[in-house]
Structures are given as C-alpha cells and as structure tokens.
Amino acid sequence: MAETRTFDPAAHVPRLDGSIEVSGLPASVRIHRDDYGIPHVEAADEASAWFGMGYACAQDRLWQLEWYRRRGRGRWSEVVGSSGLPGDRMFRRLRLVDACRADVEAMSAETRAMFETYAAGVNAYVDAGEPLPPEFGLTDLGWEPWTAEDCVMVFKVRHAIMGKRLLKLARLEFLRLAGPEAYATLEGIEPGGINVILPPGGTVPTSYAPTIEEVRAAAADLGTLASDEGGSNSWAVHGSHTTTGKP
C-alpha cells in the first residue's frame, strides 16, 4: 500500500524574530534581517559573531549544508538511490574526508576556533528545536552534528564541481582524438598554473578513457553545476561598514 503524507510548508519555516536561548553562545548575538532577508550579525565579540553566522546560515541553508556534506563524503546515494553512485564513487576517490581532517589539524588555534564556533552555531539552531527544512522530512533523514571538517568540506566540494576538472578531461579527449598538432592549433598553449601536477610518488595512468567515462557519468547528476558556462557572484561593502569609510 502506498503511504500518504500531509505536508505543511509553514511547519518548516524558521523563526526569524523574537529571542531564543541557546547553549554554547559566548556572548549575546543579534541577527537582524534587512528588507531583502539578508542576515546581519551583531555580536559582542568575534567568537559570538562566528556563532551567529553559523546560526543564521542554518536558518537559511541547512539542507544545502547537508547536500554539500553528503556529496563530499560520497553519501548522496543514501538519499537518491543508485543514480547517485557515480558521483559518490568520484568523491570518495578524491578522499575529501581525509583532506578536510588534515586541513583542520593544520589550522592555527585561532582559525580552528573560528571554524568550530561557526559549526557550534549551526548545531545550536537544530538543538534549539527549530524546524528542519522540508527535504529532511521528505527523505526521512535526521540531522548529524555539523563539524569544522564539514565547513572545510563545503569549500572542497565547490572547488571540485565548479573547477576545471571536466574541461581538462574534455581537452584531454580532444587531444587523444585530434592529435597534438590539431590540438595546439585550436587550443593554443595553456598558460602556466592550470596544468596537472602529480603528487610525490604519483604516476601518469596509461589510459584516461575509464577516468573520462567515470567523470562523465558522475557529472550527469550535478545538473547545471557541471556546466562550463556557469557564472559567479560578487558583493560590495558600503563605506559605513569599513574603517576607511570607503566601499
């Protein structure tokens, strides 16, 4: 028998006004939202500001955080089934979990405290009993505590899926099919800095074909994130918020 569920969107809307008591907060924090819904964090000290930023991010982007974490850890197929396996295999081979752990261990005490306090703010939102985004209910997923390593994971996943990996493999396939002379004529000479650099002890695979096919399969479930025609964003700081008074 098919299961019937009722869905109430209002039950998943975060509370954006009033006062909330949370544990682990170094000092009081005020999160003010402007007419565009953008949060502005006002805090008595830097640690509290990072905590507030994490809390505000959880209000707006908790499911997005979960998405990045599962992609980077190679656990997306737990949500979407077999269609997520190619991407999970690719990300696990990148060993991002180990890389994130190593990055956190290499941080200075000050930087690590920033990441950990931000993560504490994310978790405080959930611990306060605030509503989870609807995707958690639709997928029957619970929330696992956010960590400093997970913060780093967001950066690494964005780098992996928005960098030049697919473009490099496409050029490699073109080189294989067209030959060096045609490639040099149409593509020109690559500027320094984007060539593949092998790690110490690394070797060049004798065949790239399996890798190309794997990445092509993994890119299939990335949607527009796999596009080479993507853009970026930019932001500016008003002079009233800078020490010089200039934007």
Residue 237's pLDDT band, with cuts at 50, 70 and 90, is: confident
How far is Cα 70 from Cα 62, in angstroms, rounded to an integer?
A: 12
Q: What is the pLDDT of residue 220?
A: 62
CB contact at 8 A, 39 and 19: no
Of 147, 33, 56, 145, residue with least CA distance to 101: 147
Q: Position 227: which residue type?
A: S
Residue 50's pLDDT band, with cuts at 50, 70 and 90, is: very high
Q: What is the pLDDT of residue 222?
A: 58
Q: Please give the C-alpha separations between residue 161 and each of 35, 63, 166, 205, 222, in angstroms, as whole numbers.
A: 32, 18, 9, 22, 8
Q: What is the pLDDT of residue 159?
A: 83
- 1-5, 157-161, 183-187, 227-231: range with highest mean pLDDT: 157-161
Q: What is the pLDDT of residue 21?
A: 75
pLDDT tens digit sequence for 149-207: 999 999 999 887 766 666 777 777 777 777 777 777 776 655 555 555 566 776 655 55
pLDDT tens digit sequence for 73-123: 999 999 999 998 988 998 898 899 999 999 999 999 999 999 999 999 999
How far is Cα 117 from Cα 106, in angstroms, rounded to an integer?
A: 17
Q: Please give the C-alpha separations between residue 190 and each of 2, 163, 228, in angstroms, as whole numbers.
A: 56, 16, 17
Q: Please give the C-alpha separations between residue 105 and each of 28, 51, 203, in angstroms, as whole numbers.
A: 29, 20, 28
CB contact at 8 A, 66 and 153: no
Q: Regarding predicted confidence, which is higher, 159 or 46?
A: 46
Q: Residue 127: how many CB atoms within 10 A of its CB? A: 14
Q: Position 238: which residue type?
A: H
Q: What is the pLDDT of residue 227?
A: 55
Q: What is the pLDDT of residue 152?
A: 97
User: Does the pLDDT of residue 35 top 60, yes or no?
Assistant: yes
Domains of the chain: 22-163 (1.10.439.10)
Query: Among 52-61, 86-95, 195-204, 221-230, which is the least confidently predicted range?
Result: 221-230
As annotated, the active-site residues are 232
Burial (Cβ within 10 Å: 0-12, 13-18, ≥19) of residue 162? middle
Cβ within 8 Å of residue 23, ≥6 positions away: 124, 127
